[in-house]
């Protein structure tokens, strides 16, 4: 652009012309037209006899664009489409036709023609958030540099204790209802859980299995001892009967 100005010795003595301007040269290289997009004005740069240029602000297109109030049309379109006014898009190239629409029926036709469009719903995707959450679940992004607050502030020990105790008590109630443990073992394990004996549910389940196995072993030993005791008692009774019979036989021989 600067080369173009230096080549044709064009100068504009006006501070209103911004540096980022659009210049169009006609075929004879005698006219430079500048369009001010911000103010919607067109300036023509006319060359002088000495090769310089002056700014002609009396160009035929140097009239400010008349703004059309389409507030009513946007309100009607929002009512017809069934959304908010901020979701309505009006075609800027068809403002005159849209401005003539003063009824819902006309606005509905413009919607069908595509001059009025409902903007799509802007979605705030959570894909990245889900990906980050999945990474944190397996231990990523949880180093010392990511931590704020003490250990007890991040996860209070009271909450950890409440959760663990509720898990253990829920398991005990479930096992008692299913008949896996009796009320006596339930009462014992309930107090052991409250006394911080079990660190997790697996430890409680293992303790239940061991307790049931120990109880079964004790029952078997007790039954074996009872059977042995009954056998010994029966042998003792038989021996006493034999002794009694022998005594009676001896008494009979003496008589």
Domains of the chain (ranges; CATH) run 2-56 (no CATH), 71-118 (1.10.1650.10), 157-219 (1.10.1200.240)
Task: Kindly tell me the sign of the dihedral angle through the C-alpha atoms of 226, 229, 235, 240.
Answer: negative
Q: Write down the pTM of the prediction.
A: 0.48
Q: 73-92, pLDDT tens digit by residue?
A: 999 999 999 999 999 999 99
Other beta carbons within 10 Å of 200? 10
Degrees, nearest 5: CA angle 39-40-45: 95
> What is the pLDDT at residue 11?
44
Helix axis angle, 157-178 relative to 183-194, nearest 10°? 170
Q: Are 108 and 80 in contact (CB under 8 A)?
A: yes
Q: 160-190, pLDDT tens digit by residue?
A: 999 999 999 999 999 999 999 999 999 999 9
Quote helix, strand, coil % in the chain, to nearest 5.
55, 10, 35
Q: 232-245, pLDDT tens digit by residue?
A: 999 999 999 999 98
Task: Give the whole-angstrom CA distance, residue 116 versus residue 110.
Answer: 6
**What average pLDDT does the chain have?**
81
Q: What percentage of the chain reaches a pLDDT higher than 70?
A: 74
Q: Are 48 and 39 in contact (CB under 8 A)?
A: no
């Amino acid at each position: 652009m600067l080369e173009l100005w230096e080549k044709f010795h064009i100068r504009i003595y006006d501070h209103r012309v911004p540096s980022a301007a659009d210049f169009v040269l006609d075929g004879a290289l005698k006219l430079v037209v500048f369009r001010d997009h911000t103010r919607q004005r067109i300036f023509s740069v006319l060359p002088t006899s000495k090769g310089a240029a002056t700014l002609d602000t009396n160009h035929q297109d140097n009239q400010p664009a008349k703004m059309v109030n389409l507030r009513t049309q946007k309100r009607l379109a929002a009512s017809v489409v069934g959304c908010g006014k901020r979701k309505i898009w009006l075609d800027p190239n068809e403002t005159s036709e849209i401005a003539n629409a003063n009824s819902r029926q006309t606005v509905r036709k413009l919607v069908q023609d595509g001059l009025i469009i409902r903007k799509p719903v802007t979605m705030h995707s959570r894909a990245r958030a889900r990906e980050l959450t999945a990474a944190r679940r397996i231990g990523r992004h949880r180093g010392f540099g990511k931590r704020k607050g003490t250990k007890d502030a991040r996860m209070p020990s009271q909450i950890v204790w409440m959760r663990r105790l509720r898990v253990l008590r829920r398991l005990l109630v479930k096992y008692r209802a299913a008949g896996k443990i009796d009320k006596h073992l339930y009462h014992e394990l309930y107090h052991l859980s409250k006394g911080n004996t079990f660190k997790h549910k697996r430890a409680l389940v293992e303790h239940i299995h061991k307790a049931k196995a120990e109880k079964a072993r004790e029952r078997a030993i007790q039954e074996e001892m009872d059977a042995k005791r009954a056998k010994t008692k029966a042998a003792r009774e038989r021996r006493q009967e034999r002794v009694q019979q022998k005594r009676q036989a001896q008494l009979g021989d003496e008589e």
